[in-house]
Chain A
Amino acid sequence: MSELEELMKAFGEAGPDKGIFANKEIAHLVASGHKVLSMRGIDGLEVSAKETLTGISAQVTVKEGVKIKNPVHMCFGILHKKGTQKIKMDVRLERNASAHFIAHCIFPKAEKVKHIMDAVVEIGEGAEMRYSETHYHGFYGGIEVIPKAVVKVGKNGRYFTDFTLTSGRVGKLEIDYTVDAGENAVAELIARVFGHANDEIKIKEKVVLSGENSKGLIKTRVAIEDEATAEITGITEGNAAGARGHVDCMEIVKDKAVAKAIPIVNVTNSLAKVTHEAAIGSVDKRQLETLMAHGLTPEEAVDVIVKGILR
């Protein structure tokens, strides 16, 4: 079986339909370890990638005014037990362009794997980018994932991202995203992670509201059990008149897991407003009792609540 076939098999097992990579109307980029296995651009969207000593370097550009109909799929993974993958991504959406990117990061056998993503994203005036990233790290926990992104959203631009790692082990996760929102721009960052055993989760997301009337939301939902740890830092800066930001962090803690939430709000313009809320603790007693009054056992009820917040 070729490496591409093997990755596609793992991809299919992780849930999505692997047929999307055969569809000529769908742009994609597939990389395993240091190798670029497949890529396709479509009208108005250019994809280029080259292999480097430690990973790959890729550029994606959506041309001015082009609205990409189908989601652009990116699949990154390491199929071996050990290895390092460094990905350098440069994504650019030109003026009034729009695209939805779906990234699948698959490391099913990871015992000693490191995946480092370093992305620079530029969203032009009036452009919109949605970026959904789903990870699957297998059941061994021997993985370190360090995604870093610096995003600039231009005037009237919109950026929505959601990161999901809710099945299998997390390993060690260290997210570091910074988004700068220009005039009337919108930035929404959502992360959902479920940690088990000795998983370590660190999420740091920062939204800088530099433009007038810009809006930002950082929403984090984390559940941890066993001896997992989580430290969530949500930072929002309101630096312009009319800027509105909110940081919303919820962590459910079970067993001996330890959670920490650090919401930071920093306002330098008296006409800006930034709010925050953080809730950490065991499952809400009233929610639990309500579900139990429907006949669910305590275990089933906790499962429903945790799955709900991670959905």
Chain B
Amino acid sequence: MSILEINNLTFEVNNKKILDDFSLKLESSEIHALLGTNGTGKSTLAYLIMGCEGYKPTSGEVVFDSRVINDLKIHERAQLGISMAWQEPVRFEGISVKNYLALKNKEVNPSSYLELVGLHSELYLNRMVDKSLSGGERKRIELASILALNPKLAILDEPDSGIDMLSTQDIINVINVFKKNGSSVLLITHREEIALIADRASQMCYGRIICSGEPQKVAEYYKSRKCLVCDGEVCLYV
């Protein structure tokens, strides 16, 4: 059963189509990797699903758990079970990691979620989610906070960017925890090794899906620069 259906979604800015008649289905507990070079519309798709301000579809619909959610605000979508880890998470003054992980649910055990993202809880629980954290630390904490929400759908926008290469396995483990917990994951990534853990993958170009299927196949297609939409001009690198 599909948890998310994106039907013929078009999103234009200044008459330029960022998403062009885009459709995608995500099944329950499925990890779906989305590949594509910069500017192909991946993050825009994430903002449209989450309902961020300024991201209202020009046409088409977003259906979540059999309900059209186009008119719902971010928090209403979050309360239905969608959440998102931003590519560059913001910092907050005066909010400790411990409180950040328990923002919505005071019953969670923040330590266990920190350990899942590879951070020692005794070193991080009382730190602030502010500028004192490195980009990589902040990203891990954001992932932990989304895990703690136990969403039906987690949108992870490049969870691997800013994370050192040696920690790639940590990120893979986290994504697998989402799956184990029953969450569906829309995984936006540039790294092949991350994409390969998905159940399915799609490649985007110019706001469309140009290839979809087995992650290995999609990754190979992506690297082959055989994109029929841009003829390899845009889709140069994984």
**Residues of A bordering B, CB below 8 Å:** 221, 250, 284-287, 289-298, 301, 304-305, 307-311
**Inter-subunit contact A308/B94 (CB<8 Å):** yes
In the complex, A298→B53 CA distance in Å?
Answer: 12
Kindly list the 7 A-B residue pairs having the minimum CB-CB distance in the complex, ordered from nearest. Answer: A308-B94, A311-B94, A292-B74, A295-B78, A292-B75, A295-B104, A308-B95
**Inter-subunit contact B79/A295 (CB<8 Å):** yes
Chain A binder among B23-31, B81-89, B168-176, B180-188: B81-89
Q: State whether A294 and B95 are in contact (beta carbons under 8 Å apart), knowing that A284-B90, A304-B103 are contacts in the complex.
A: no
Cβ–Cβ < 8 Å partners of A291 in chain B: 103
**Inter-subunit contact A294/B94 (CB<8 Å):** no
**Inter-subunit contact B86/A292 (CB<8 Å):** no
Return the contact of A304 from the options B75, B86, B95 (Cβ within 8 A).
B95
Contact residue range for chain B? Answer: 20 to 34
**Inter-subunit contact A305/B104 (CB<8 Å):** no
Return the contact of B104 from the options A286, A294, A307, A308 (Cβ within 8 A).
A294
Quote the shortest CB–CB distance from A181 to chain B (angstroms): 25
Return the contact of B90 from the options A286, A296, A307, A311 (Cβ within 8 A).
A286
**Inter-subunit contact B83/A294 (CB<8 Å):** yes
9 A-B pairs whose Cβ atoms sit less than 8 Å apart in the complex: A289-B50, A291-B103, A292-B74, A293-B50, A293-B74, A293-B78, A293-B84, A294-B78, A296-B103
Contacts A289-B74, A290-B86, A293-B50 aside, 14 further interface pairs with beta carbons under 8 A come to A286-B90, A289-B52, A291-B103, A293-B82, A293-B83, A294-B83, A294-B103, A295-B103, A295-B104, A296-B78, A296-B104, A305-B92, A307-B94, A308-B93
**Inter-subunit contact A298/B75 (CB<8 Å):** yes
**Inter-subunit contact A294/B149 (CB<8 Å):** yes
CB of B73 within 8 Å of the partner chain: yes
- Candidate in A221, A287, A294, A310 with the most chain B CB atoms within 10 angstroms: A294
Closest to A291 in B: B103
Quote the shortest CB–CB distance from A224 to chain B (angstroms): 17
Closest to A297 in B: B75
Complex interface bits, B36-71 against A, C-beta within 8 A gives 1, otherwise 0:
000000000000001011000000000000000000
Cβ–Cβ < 8 Å partners of A310 in chain B: 94
Quote the shortest CB–CB distance from B106 to chain A (angstroms): 13
**Inter-subunit contact A285/B53 (CB<8 Å):** yes
In the complex, A250→B94 CA distance in Å?
Answer: 13
Quote the shortest CB–CB distance from A225 to chain B (angstroms): 18
- Candidate in A285, A290, A296 with the most chain B CB atoms within 10 angstroms: A290
Q: State whether A308 and B92 are in contact (beta carbons under 8 Å apart), knowing that A289-B74, A295-B79, A295-B104 are contacts in the complex.
A: yes
